[in-house]
Amino acid sequence: MKKSLGADTFALPTPVWVVGTYDDQGKPNIMTAAWGGICCSVPPCVAVSLQKIRASYNNIINQKAFTINIPSVDQMTAADYVGIASAKNFDKFATTGFTAVKSDLVNAPYIKEFSLVLECKLVHTIDLGLHTQFIGEIVDAKAEEAVLGDNGLPVLSKINPFTFSPPERKYYAIGQDLGQAFSFGKKLFDK
Ligand SMILES: Cc1cc2nc3c(=O)[nH]c(=O)nc-3n(C[C@H](O)[C@H](O)[C@H](O)COP(=O)(O)O)c2cc1C
């Protein structure tokens, strides 16, 4: 018997992303976002939702661009920090030692030290309530060679990202490789 928990955001787990933006002076900023996901394949798009109070919110509205940087477990402390400290009060690049690299394609910085980054141009803005959802078309994905597999595509275990559990306010590592998707289910067609 299930117990009702009320209306809440318990879609577990969420990603842990670091959103890169520029302010009006061209100063880079980064903030952590968990309210996000892939939302279209063609064109490739991501959705990420920010509260209006975030410094990054104004940056996306004004520059119409952002990057999604995927942190690894090794970068968890810094990724958590940029989700606590606001650019309104802290120089997050000075503290973390991360390097902001200007994207050639959109007016947003990506983080050099992160192995996988997505450069996004803002295509839709949806005011949902406390959060505003920004839909970004991915104009390029960039990855370090070291995290690519033989087919030239990113390998999750090499990137070693981590996830977030909102009700527990905890980070979790990602477990073992379970096998091929779009494959296991095929055996049930013969049932
Ligand atoms: C794990 C985690 C997930 C977060 N997810 C979001 C999110 O999806 N949207 C949001 O607006 N803030 C989110 N935050 C809070 C912002 O990252 C935080 O308020 C940050 O300091 C904003 O920085 P800024 O004001 O420099 O933009 C999250 C924080 C953490 C630690």
Please give the Cα distance from 28 to 25 (Å, whole number): 9
Calculate the dihedral angle through the C-alpha atoms of 185, 15, 151, 106, rounding to the nearest 10 degrees.
140
pLDDT digits (tens, 9 = 90+) for 130-142: 999 999 999 999 9
Atom of ligand 1 nearest to the CA of 16: 1
User: Which of 31, 81, 163 maximizes ligand 1 atoms within 8 Å of its Cβ, making it the mutation to test the pocket?
Assistant: 31
Q: How far is the CA of 175 from the centre of ligand 1 (A)?
A: 25
Please give the Cα distance from 133 to 37 (Å, whole number): 11
pLDDT greater than 90 at residue 191: no
Q: How confident is the model at residue 114 (pLDDT cuts 50, 70, 90)?
A: very high
Q: How far is CA 127 from CA 19, 47, 52, 57, 63, in A?
A: 18, 12, 10, 12, 17
Please give the Cα distance from 172 to 176 (Å, whole number): 13
Atom of ligand 1 nearest to the CA of 35: 8
Residues with CB under 6 A from ligand 1: 16, 29, 31-35, 49-51, 54-56, 80, 83-88, 164
What is the residue with the minimal CA distance to atom 5 of ligand 1?
Answer: 33
Q: What is the pTM of this model?
A: 0.98
pLDDT digits (tens, 9 = 90+) for 40-70: 999 999 999 999 999 999 999 999 999 999 9
| Domains with residue ranges and CATH for the chain | 14-190 (2.30.110.10)
